[in-house]
Chains A and B, each alone.
Chain A
Amino acid sequence: MTATLPLLAPPRLSLRLFAVWRRNFFVWRKLALPSIVGNLADPVIYMLGLGYGLGMLVQEVEGVPYIAFLAGGTLAYSTMNSATFETLYSGFSRMHVQKTWEAIMNAPVALDDIVAAELVWAASKSCLAGTAILAVIALFGFAASPLALAAIPVVFLTGLCFAALGLIMTALAPSYDFFMYYFTLFITPMTLLSGVFFPQGQLPDGVRTVAACLPLSHAVELIRPLLLGHVPGQIGLHLGVLATITVIAFWTALILTRRRLLN
């Protein structure tokens, strides 16, 4: 009788995943400053450029200055980008190029732990970057309410959600070039449709219905009100959708990664 490691089994995790998380944290710590600046500069420049530049033309959106409207969207989409980049490019390097995962699997750490560590690490990293962005937003006075602090756990959940989706792509990728499809076909359209730069009310009816289901839309619906000092509407729905996508996507990524590496 042979014990089996069924591909479809639910995740079997151990606390060793924190040793793997710690490895990624140590690498990040060595390059923390350039990493934070890199993750910070791009979204902040966009926010200030569009917020003040375009803001001159559009004045107010949904009753607030355009830049204040943009701040929440910026925090949400930069979190998505940071978690996505980490699981796609850095994750693929560790899995495929550097063979880091293979080395770790020779220790008493299971593949499930490694993939879970990547998930939590990517969310942590996007949360670190997100907190820095939130600090800049607060510095410019667009996150005055203490409620804005509640955006940090939401940023972490958003990071988990997009890290889990990203891990699916990483498990399927033959090379780095593959990730271009994910960005051009999924991430970029989602950024434009999820109410980051303009309210979803501007979209045609049919598109609006689809756009409201996108994971980034739910993140924006939570983060923007918190930054503006309101309690978001339908909190349970938005949190629930993000959490559900995280669980399903992570399990899918795990099955695909086991198929790729344990065969």
Chain B
Amino acid sequence: MPLEIAGLVKRFGKGAEAKEVIRGLDLSLRKGECFALLGPNGAGKTTTLRCALGLTTPSAGQIHLAGLPVPGQAREARARVGVVPQIDSLDPDFTCAENLIVFAGYFGIRDSEIRPRVPELLAFAGLEGKENARIQSLSGGMKRRLTLARALVNKPELLVLDEPTTGLDPQARHLIWERLRRLTAEGTTILLTTHFMDEAERLAHRLAILDNGRILVQGSPREVIAAHIEPQVVEVFGEWDGSDNQAANGAAAWAAQHAGTLSRRCEISGETAFCYTDDAAPLLAHLAHQPSLRTLHRPANLEDVFLKLTGRELRD
């Protein structure tokens, strides 16, 4: 098993000021799968990864990384794992090739062994011919790709990525997705955290939604969507001229009068009413007579599940 976590608890601080960040988390990755850990800011995603890698000591629970107990044998376990951290940590004093060679040294890989692999690693990251490029000359997307190449110097069994595509343009995101898919196809197990639901939906074989240090749901993207949300969503927004009250003429006023009977569940967020339903036909027929309101009819997705489970309030 690439990673197995049982009953993980992590508290920061001591006594009355102690804060429990992870509150009993179980997770087990299957070989060759891509597993996504989703959750709002502060849910405990990064702390879970830090515990899994043996970079911080759990308050309770058991962790096995690449089959070895962590933190007890974390160093040996990390020899078989690659990590793409959230924050860029490339060596600004080195070229692309030197970054890979020096990093391989931390794994005890000889220069003579890594040097011939450098062009191949750079090509994998879409950085062909960039051996001698300085880090300062790379774009954000190129740096992230080089970090991905760096995480592969030891041919890891498990690749851990903390928000790998945050801040990247769509082109760079698609390239990273394609490479990650290629890695899982070759048998590498992937554990990633992300804020992007489309990323999880596309890449992950299985996922878990985490909030307040607990896993709320776990399963394949399809299973999670099928089990936790109505299949159809109609988003309603814009002006509404059917109101008796001139002051209340938005989608919220419309929803207050009609959404209850026409959808199973309706959530208001800002100017938009999100109507969840098993059968959208009656709702759409009604809306056809409300030309001032605008509508968007779509299948429910992971983001709907995520917002339902973790709420729409802002997190810091």
List A residues at the B interface (Cβ < 8 Å): 2-5, 14, 16, 19-20, 22-23, 26-27, 30, 98-100, 102-110, 262-263
Contacts and interface: CB of A to CB of B under 8 A. Distances in A.
A19 B108 contact: yes
25 contacts: A2-B57, A2-B58, A2-B60, A3-B69, A3-B72, A5-B57, A19-B105, A19-B108, A20-B106, A23-B91, A23-B105, A27-B94, A98-B89, A99-B87, A100-B89, A102-B89, A103-B90, A103-B150, A104-B106, A106-B85, A107-B106, A108-B106, A108-B108, A110-B75, A262-B56
A43 B98 CA distance: 33
B196 interface: no
Contact of A106 (B76, B78, B94): B78
A262 B53 CA distance: 11
Question: What does DSSP make chain B's interface, helix, strand, loop or mixed?
Answer: loop
Nearest to A94: B91
Interface in B283-306: none
B102 A23 contact: yes
Nearest to A109: B106
A150 B74 CA distance: 42
Given A27-B93, A108-B75, A99 B98 contact: no
A23 to B, nearest CB: 5
A103 B79 contact: no
B71 interface: yes
Most buried by B among A14, A98, A107, A263: A107
Given A109-B75, A262-B55, A16 B102 contact: no
B103 interface: yes
A70 B262 CA distance: 92
Contact of B57 (A14, A98, A262): A262
A76 to B, nearest CB: 30
A14 B94 CA distance: 25
B91 A98 contact: yes
B26 to A, nearest CB: 15
A263 B107 contact: no
B83 interface: yes
Given A3-B72, A108-B75, A100 B91 contact: yes
Nearest to B57: A5
A3 B107 CA distance: 23
A2 B57 CA distance: 9
A2 B59 CA distance: 8
A212 B277 CA distance: 83
Nearest to B55: A105
B88 interface: yes
Contacts of A16: 106, 108
A185 B293 CA distance: 70
Nearest to B102: A23
A19 B75 CA distance: 15
A134 to B, nearest CB: 28
A108 B79 contact: yes
